[in-house]
Structures are given as C-alpha cells and as structure tokens.
Amino acid sequence: MRAARRLSSLATRFLFSLTILTPPARTQDFHPWDAPLDDFASKIATSLEKRASIELTVRNISSIDSATIETIRRALESDLQRRGLRIRPAASTDSTVEVTFSENVREFIWAAEIRRGEWRHVVIENFPRSAATTGAPAQPPLRLERRQLRQQSEAMLDFALLPSSGSPSPDLVVLEPERLVVYHWMDAAWQPGAAVDIPHANPWPRDLRGELDVARNAIILPGVECTSQFQQPFALQCAAREANPGSPAATSAPMIRIAGRDVADFARLRSVCNFDSLILASGAGDWTQPDTLQAYEISDSDALAAGTPLDFAGPILALHASIDGASARVISRNPQTGMYEAAIVTISCNR
Amino acid sequence: MKLQSSRFRAIASGLVVALALPIGGAERPRYGGALHVEIGASVAALDPGVVSENPDEAGAKDDLLPLVFETLVTLDANGALQPGLATSWNADAAQKTWSFALRRGVKFHDGSLVTSSAVAGALEAANPDWKVQTGGGIGGVLYEMIQISTSSTAPDLPEQLAEIRYAIWKRAADGSVVGTGPFKITTWEARKRAVFAENQEYWAGRPFLDSVDVQMGQPAKNRAIDLQLGKADLVDLPPDLARRASDDKLRVSTTSPAELLALVFPPGHKATDDARVREAVAKSIDRAAIVTFILQKQGEPAASLLPQWLSGTAFLFAASADPVAAHALWTQIHAAPALVLGYDSNEPLEQAVAERIAVNAKEAGIPLSARAIPANSNAAPIAARIVRARFDSPVPRLALTDLLANFAPILGEDARPLPASATSEELYARERVALDTYRVVPLVHLPRIYGLGTRVRNWQILPGQSLEGWRLADVWVEEEAP
C-alpha cells in the first residue's frame, strides 16, 4: 500500500513537472548571425569608397533555408546602407558586390566578391555552424507533438523530468552510458548540476540500452541495476542483474508485429482520442537513416497506423512510455549535427 | 456511426500513409556474421607509422587502419572534436602545451593496458618535433595523462591528433603492431588478404560484426561481379563501374571528394618556366568534360586545391575552360616547343585525363601530347605531369597545409606553412597566390566510391568523416537466407 501510494505520488510529481516545464525562452531580436553579419558588412564597406553606389547580388549555396537567407539579405542591406553605401540597380553603379552564402563542414562562409572594372577583391567572414531548427505540423486524427528538451554530443540513454527542490522549474535527469547527470533550468538553459559515474566491470554492449525507472529511483542497464536519489545522485548502489538486453546473448524482449516485422522497441500509451490501445513505434531502417515515430492502434491481430508519423532527422535510439502512458520519452540522434536529442512526445486529438 | 466511419477513414488513411513512407529508423542491429570485402589496392602492411607512396595503397590503408587503430580524439560529422582514447584535453594560455587525460581501462589487442608511456611513444614516432611527457592525476583522481609541447602556437593540435597517422599503437612481444580498435588482425597475407576479428574487449562495445574478410588486389570487374552475385558485401569501385552499378540498381556509396587530381609544371623546364605557357595550357582544359565523360559524373571539376565541402570557398575559383584566351596567350609565345604531359603508366584514370587534356590543348592550338612515364620520374622532356594528392584532414587549415607541403618542390615559398590563426580569408588568399602561378593546376576532386551488398546495414560516411576511413564497428549484416 505504501509502495502504491509512493508510486502514485511520484507519478503525480512527474506529471506536474511535465506541465510546468516552459520551453526555453527565445529573444525575438537576437540571431546567431548578428555579429558575423556586422563584421561582414564592415569588411565590405571598408573595401569600397564612402557613399559608393553598389549593385548587390546574393546567392545561397549553404544549407541555410531561403526564408532565413532573405532575412539575412535584408539585414545586410540595412547594415551596408547604415555604413553609407547606396544600393542601386546595376545600370547606375560602378561597383558590384556579389555575396555568396557558403559553408564548409565546420563553418558558415560568407564571401563577397567586390568588382569595379577589372579590379576584384574578395572579403570573407566565417563563423561556426549552428543547428537549424525546423518544425513540422502534424495531421489528423491524432497528432504527435514533440517537445525537445535537450541536445548534447554525448550519448543519452534515457532522461526524466523531476520536481526541483529549489526551483519552480523541474530538473532534468539524464542517463548517459558512463554517468547520471542532473541539470537545473536557469537563465533559459539547462545548467549541469551533480553527476555521478556509473560503475561497470565490463565494456557496455555496442547497442547499449538503459532506462530510468522513476517510480523505483532505479537505473536499469545491461547486467547492472543501480538505485539513487535522482535529483542528488551523489552515490549509486549498484548490483548485478541477469538480463543483458543489448548483448549478443540477449534474451528475447516482448515483441509486437507491425507491417510484417517484429518490433521490440515500442511505447504503450493509455487510451486517448477514442483509440483504445495505442503504441508508438519507430521505423525499421538503420542508424544512418531518418526515422519516424508512428502511433498504431493495436487490435487482436493487427497494428493499424493512426495519424501521420512524426519525422526525425535521424534514428530513434530509445523510446520509453511515461508512467501514466500519456507521453513517451524519445532519444534520437541527428546525423546532420551529430547531436543526441531528448524529446517528449505527446498525443493530441484533432477535433 | 458517423464517428465510427470517420475514425475508420482516419485509420485507413494513416495506414496508407505509413505504408507509402520509406521505412526509416532504428531497427535493432544484429550481432554476428562476416563482412566480405574486396578492394583493388594491395596493402603491404597495416602500420600507422609507415607512409605508402602509392596513392591507391595509401587510400586503402587509410580505409583499413581505423578497424584496428584509434586516435586520442575524433572528429564528428561537423568536424567537431569528440573524445577517443582521450576523454578530455586542455591547453595552456599560449596554446603550445596540450594535456590529454587518457580513457581508463582501455587495452591493446595483446591484452596490455594503454599507458601514457605507450601513447607518448606512438605520438613521438608520428611527430618527432613534439615533446611528449607523461603524468597523472586530475583533481585527485588518477588518470593517465600525456602532455604535448610544441615549439609554436598550436590551437588545432587536437584536430591534428584526429588524423589516423597519429593513431596509438605499440609493438607487441612478437614484433607485430597492435592497436586498441574494434577489430583485431587475425590473418595478414601482405598484398593479398586480411582477416579482422571482433574485439570482445573493445571499450566502446564489441562491434556487431564477428569478422571482416578483405581480399586485396582484386580487378575492378571481378569486384563488381562479386558484388552483384552477393559474394562481396563491400567493394571499392572506379567511376565507370560505379555508374554502371547505379544503373543496375546496386547500392553505391560515394564520399565527399577525398583526393585532388592536378596537373603540375615542375620548375626547371625551359618552355614551362614561361608563366604564359602554363596559363595557356590551364585555360584550355575542359574540366567539366573530364568529369562527365571520364569520371562518369563521379567527381567535381576543380579549380581550387581544396574542395567546396572542405574549404567553403572553392566556388571563388573559376573552373570553366577558355580556349580562346588560351589560344591568344599561346600565340604571344615565340618559338614555343611541343609539350609532353606525363602520367603514371599504371594508372588508367590518369592516362584518360592526360589524353583528354592533350585534346583540349590541341583545340586551343597548343601542341601537347600525353606520354606514360614511370611513377615519380622527373625525366627532362616532361613539361607537366598528372599527380594525385589525398586530403588528410577535414580542417581547412590542416588540409591546405598538408597539400601545400606536397607541392613544396613545385611551389617553393608559396607552400610555406600557414599560421595557426589563419582565417578563411587568409586560407583563400594563400590558395589564390599558390594557384596564380599556374605551377599547380587543379583538375578534379575525386570521391571514394563503394558498392554495397543488400545485407549491409548502418554503412555511413558523413561529409566530415569522408577522410577517416571505414567505421565498421557500427556496421551489421542481415542474416543470409538459408
């Protein structure tokens, strides 16, 4: 009974933490390219005479989307005009400035080829690439909604949002292959707090799976189970366990059959949007491909896709249902950025 | 009833959408099985400390080395540093001394632990200019440490250490070279065959494959046929066969350009010491035709030393031919002699390109003929020759520095090392200066091309990792049909 009450309490705390988490604050006027753009405009302006009339052309051969390029182009025009340059059609100028937005594997490269008659001068501005953000609308009859919580270069196996003792925002607990880390939401970012190493005698399997069992304050890993106070994981008590799900000698996990294939990784959700038995499952490609998260309604013999899938840039590596079955914790890896991404996926009903 | 009906339609439409979608994602990998590989090159020894002069052998070696050997750090798809055998690193304020904490518990394939002295030995052998010291302890925790000191500022020393030439190895008791990587060498028949078995003790988890069996020195046509018949899972392909394999719906994996094919005019030749001669030949070359007809579109016309993915500034160099300007230049030269363009007699690709250049030159009125010459010959009548140069690093400054060093005998002072703080603008300027002499004339940037069998999964070479060789630890194979 005490255990049941404790579970219920933890579940409530967990739900509470999900609802109060606010998305990271965004400052409307700040763009990552503001400083490089200013430097770029300065380099162009100092290569030309004051109050020169120029024809400005822009082309984009980078991965920046066209809408963003248009915003940058307008900002560049304003900046050049602020510096005294006059932007005119070709016929009324004696100088041309041909701007190319380019990139290499590490940086954005913005180049301006400035020509006046036979004279040619090139100025270049470079700055580190930052991940582009995209959002995809979902479709009826139910909608999968993703809320990305964190991305990091280190592998993540699982995560949990838990109430914080000293803050209205919850803490984020992240299980990595080698450690458990607590992050606190401060200054519109997750700030690392306590961390503790996870002891293991043997190398982990390559296809490592791990799970945070919030109800039991437990970490489940291949061959090891540890317990800890997640918000203050200064010490772990670990003990060997038999199952070793990621190893070659893995015991068979429960499977569900979808579109002719047996799927081991799925999250079972509660009844929602008039669907009685829903699961979420990822695709069937490999780690090099984009992935999808699809809701299925499970009947006696079939799994019928419900709604449209949610696209992920890279493979979904971990999928765990929340305690109340209302959402799923998803860890994926974005091959473009190389980052592991932790997101909570919830279902909304379309009316 | 209405609800039921609309719900049925919704489910049905969802099902159609799901079935129509390409299946992506994250199926659980399978452990076990052998990957059968066939390559054209023949590798004499898999030793990170030995440099291969033959570009094909060097390329194949670069592909195979990461199976067995690892570096302190690696570069991810964005060229960002990631921990390897070192878990953390930092530099002093002058960026002349770098400290690396070594990953604990990593073992060489002979079972011995990776120690700081073993790491120091490997790095000092790779770069005798570095002073490498050993030590231990960060904040009371015992970590094996090494400290690398350089004579000048080295802000990108960690990026350098990601190159496979700085792999960590040691000599085992039997004299063989052992590494720490996901696979161990179990059979090595020089220039013929190598078998690599999975390293059960691999610190990052044993690879999915049980073994990798590499047949070397296989003719290109045999490789393509074996791929088609399912006898080989992974083969390297020349451009013409890659195109055919694509047409036959076989899986073809093409990397970002990893190599430069260029024309060089060595100094000391009476005719080509006149810059107008070199410029005229350079302007006559139709690079787009070389890529289209000889490389079957498996490459990029190159007017710059570094490819676009690596520098981001290749577009600033014009690659188009200008036979009219070439002819005009040539007519300014009095008593210009006939020119001979040399190519490696063992390289069919170089021969085809050289012959194409000769045709272009003739169209511009330049008497140039292609002739086979022994590799590395500097025979006097040769005015120019075709050379190949591999890119060693995805970091533009390091790649350009290495490339310029390759061309040092031809470029002289223009090949001097770039300062560690060089910006993209400075890299571009140096490249421009080097190319404006027309001593080195870029022709094409060549990718590496591989054919893949249907059962191969998780094969991936991302742009930032195009130069790192094969990452077979994550590759797995589907079970063969009974």
pLDDT at A243: 54
Residue B220 backbone phi and psi in degrees, to 5: -60, -45
pLDDT at B482: 58
Which chain B residue's Cα is nearest to A318?
B26
Distances (CA, A) of B128 to A68, A271, B131, B148, B432: 48, 67, 8, 11, 31
Which chain B residue's Cα is nearest to A302?
B15
Q: How many whole angstroms separate alpha carbon B168 and alpha carbon B123?
A: 7
Which chain B residue's Cα is nearest to A314?
B25
**Structure letter (DSSP) for residue A137:** -
pLDDT at B23: 36
Longest dimension (CA), chain A: 87
Q: Tell me the mean pLDDT in the region A336-345.
A: 90
Q: Do B460 and A288 touch (CB under 8 A)?
A: yes
DSSP string, A103-170: E-SSEEEEEEEEEETTEEEEEEEEEE-----------SSEEEEEEEEEEESS---EEEEE--SS-SSP
The predicted-structure confidence for B223-249, as pLDDT tens digits, reads as follows 999 999 999 999 999 988 998 888 888
pLDDT at A220: 92
Q: How many whole angstroms separate alpha carbon B301 and alpha carbon B316?
A: 13
Partners of residue B425 in chain A, C-beta under 8 Å: 122-126
The predicted-structure confidence for A102-132, as pLDDT tens digits, reads as follows 999 889 999 999 999 889 999 999 988 754 3
Which chain B residue's Cα is nearest to A138?
B14
pLDDT at B139: 47
Mean pLDDT lowest for which of A37-46, B140-149, B287-296, B413-422?
A: B140-149
State the smallest CA–CA distance between residue A125 and chain B in angstroms. 7
Which chain B residue's Cα is nearest to A140?
B10
CB proximity list for B8: less than 8 A, separation 6 or greater: none
The predicted-structure confidence for A244-295, as pLDDT tens digits, reads as follows 444 433 444 577 777 777 787 888 887 777 677 788 998 877 888 889 998 8
Closest to A234 in 3D by CA, of A195, A186, A289, A273 = A195
Do the strands B259-264 and B476-477 form a parallel or antiparallel pair, or are they unpaired?
Answer: unpaired
Q: Do A291 and B24 touch (CB under 8 A)?
A: yes
pLDDT exceeds 70 at position A22? no
Q: Do B79 and A305 touch (CB under 8 A)?
A: no
Q: Do A284 and B23 touch (CB under 8 A)?
A: yes
Residue B73 backbone phi and psi in degrees, to 5: -130, 165
Q: How many whole angstroms separate alpha carbon B311 and alpha carbon A111?
A: 12
pLDDT exceeds 90 at position B468? no
pLDDT at A301: 62
DSSP string, A50-111: TT-EEEEEEEE-SSS-HHHHHHHHHHHHHHHHHTT-EE--GGG-SEEEEEEEEE-SSEEEEE
Q: Which residue has the tokens 């591989």?
A: B450
The predicted-structure confidence for B180-229, as pLDDT tens digits, reads as follows 999 999 999 999 999 999 999 999 999 999 999 999 999 999 999 999 99
Closest to B70 in 3D by CA, of B103, B93, B30, B31 = B103
pLDDT at A29: 53
pLDDT exceeds 80 at position A208? yes
The predicted-structure confidence for B253-262, as pLDDT tens digits, reads as follows 999 999 999 9
pLDDT at A319: 92
Closest to A337 in 3D by CA, of B462, B473, B170 = B462
Contacting A residues, span 143-172, partner chain B, CB-CB under 8 Å: 153
Nearest beta carbon to residue A287 from set B11, B205, B458: B458
Q: Tell me the mean pLDDT in the region B382-404.
A: 92
Answer yes or no: are the C-beta atoms of A286 and B27 closer than 8 Å: yes
The token pair that represents B202 in the structure block: 């691999």
Q: Which residue has the higher pLDDT, A211 or A26?
A: A211
Q: How many whole angstroms separate alpha carbon A177 and alpha carbon A154?
A: 9
pLDDT at A344: 92
Taken in order B469, B219, B287, B441, is the CA torsion positive or negative? Answer: positive
Closest to B219 in 3D by CA, of B41, B393, B81 = B41
The per-residue b/e assignment along B421-439, b for 16 or more CB within 10 angstroms, e otherwise, is ebebbebbebbeebbebbb
Partners of residue B206 in chain A, C-beta under 8 Å: 203, 205-206, 248
pLDDT exceeds 90 at position B329? yes
Q: What angle (nearest 5°) sits at the alpha carbon of residue A176, between those of residues A170 and A180?
A: 55
Chain B contact for A208 (CB, 8 A cutoff): yes
Q: How many whole angstroms separate alpha carbon B189 and alpha carbon B241?
A: 27
pLDDT over 90, % of chain B:
68
Q: What is the mean pLDDT of chain B?
A: 88
**Helical pair B220-229 and B239-247, crossing angle rounded to 10 deg:** 20
Q: 10 Å Cβ neighbour count for A55?
A: 17
Q: Tell me the mean pLDDT in the region A20-40.
A: 63
The 3-state DSSP class for residue B201 equals coil
**Structure letter (DSSP) for residue A275:** B
CB proximity list for B287: less than 8 A, separation 6 or greater: B301, B302, B303, B319, B320, B321, B443, B444
pLDDT exceeds 90 at position B371? yes
Q: Do B78 and A106 touch (CB under 8 A)?
A: yes
Q: Which residues pair with A298 in a beta bridge?
A: A303
Partners of residue B23 in chain A, C-beta under 8 Å: 283-285
Mean pLDDT lowest for which of A92-96, B101-105, B241-245?
A: A92-96
The 3-state DSSP class for residue A258 equals strand
pLDDT at A16: 37
Q: Tell me the mean pLDDT in the region B400-412.
A: 92
Q: Do B17 and A308 touch (CB under 8 A)?
A: yes
Q: In what order do the strands lie in the sheet with A211-213?
A: A211-213, A218-221, A224-227, A237-240
Q: Do B3 and A203 touch (CB under 8 A)?
A: no
pLDDT at A11: 43
Q: Do A153 and B80 touch (CB under 8 A)?
A: yes
Contacting A residues, span 237-296, partner chain B, CB-CB under 8 Å: 246-248, 259, 261, 264-265, 274, 282-292, 294
Q: 10 Å Cβ neighbour count for B453?
A: 22
Q: Taking chain A, what is the end-to-end CA distance rounded to the nearest angstrom?
A: 40
Q: Do B202 and A338 touch (CB under 8 A)?
A: no
**Structure letter (DSSP) for residue B414:** G
| pLDDT grade for A336, boundaries at 50, 70 and 90 | confident
pLDDT exceeds 60 at position A197? yes
Q: Do A297 and B11 touch (CB under 8 A)?
A: yes
Do the strands A86-87 and A95-103 form a parallel or antiparallel pair, or are they unpaired?
Answer: unpaired
Partners of residue A284 in chain B, C-beta under 8 Å: 23-25, 27
Q: Do A304 and B308 touch (CB under 8 A)?
A: no
Answer yes or no: are the C-beta atoms of B436 and B293 closer than 8 Å: no
pLDDT exceeds 50 at position A158? yes
Contacting A residues, span 8-47, partner chain B, CB-CB under 8 Å: none
Distances (CA, A) of A226 to A9, A43, B298, B394: 21, 57, 52, 41
Chain B contact for A209 (CB, 8 A cutoff): no
Partners of residue A107 in chain B, C-beta under 8 Å: 312, 424
pLDDT at B376: 59
What is the SS3 string spanning B388-406? Answer: EEECCCCCHHHHHHHHHHH
Q: Which residues pair with B98 in a beta bridge?
A: B91, B148
Partners of residue B24 in chain A, C-beta under 8 Å: 283-285, 289-292, 312, 315
pLDDT at A10: 43
Q: Do A315 and B24 touch (CB under 8 A)?
A: yes
Q: Do A61 and B82 touch (CB under 8 A)?
A: no
The token pair that represents B180 in the structure block: 């720490």
pLDDT at B136: 62
The predicted-structure confidence for B19-59, as pLDDT tens digits, reads as follows 333 333 457 889 999 999 999 999 999 998 888 888 889 98
Chosen from A44, A61, A105, A126 to mutate, greatest number of chain B CBs within 10 A: A105
Q: Do B312 and A291 touch (CB under 8 A)?
A: no
Chain B contact for A132 (CB, 8 A cutoff): no
Q: What is the mean pLDDT of chain A?
A: 80
Residue B189 backbone phi and psi in degrees, to 5: -110, 105
Q: How many whole angstroms separate alpha carbon A279 and alpha carbon A297?
A: 7
Q: How many whole angstroms separate alpha carbon A150 and alpha carbon A339?
A: 10
Q: Do A290 and B24 touch (CB under 8 A)?
A: yes
pTM score > 0.95 for this model? no
Q: How many whole angstroms separate alpha carbon A172 and alpha carbon A187?
A: 15
Partners of residue B312 in chain A, C-beta under 8 Å: 102-104, 107-109, 126
Q: How many whole angstroms separate alpha carbon A205 and alpha carbon A333?
A: 18
Distances (CA, A) of B183 to B110, B203, B343: 12, 12, 38
State the smallest CA–CA distance between residue A295 and chain B in angstroms. 9
Longest dimension (CA), chain B: 95
Calculate the dihedral angle through the C-alpha atoms of A62, A65, A67, A73, rounding to the nearest 10 degrees. Answer: -10
Distances (CA, A) of B451 to B39, B42, B244, B300: 11, 18, 11, 20
Closest to A193 in 3D by CA, of A157, A164, A154 = A164
pLDDT at B2: 36
Q: Where are the beta strands (DSSP E) in B19-140?
A: 34-38, 73-75, 81-83, 86-91, 97-102, 131-138
Calculate the dihedral angle through the C-alpha atoms of B254, B256, B260, B261, rounding to the nearest 10 degrees. Answer: 30
pLDDT at B9: 41
Q: How many whole angstroms separate alpha carbon A104 and alpha carbon B256?
A: 12
Q: How many whole angstroms separate alpha carbon B48 and alpha carbon B69?
A: 8
The 3-state DSSP class for residue B12 equals helix
Distances (CA, A) of B197 to A60, B187, B294: 47, 9, 38
Answer yes or no: are the C-beta atoms of B237 and B449 closer than 8 Å: yes
Q: Which residues pair with A120 in a beta bridge?
A: A115
Q: How many whole angstroms separate alpha carbon A279 and alpha carbon A299?
A: 11
Residue B234 backbone phi and psi in degrees, to 5: -145, 125
Q: Tell me the mean pLDDT in the region B447-458.
A: 94
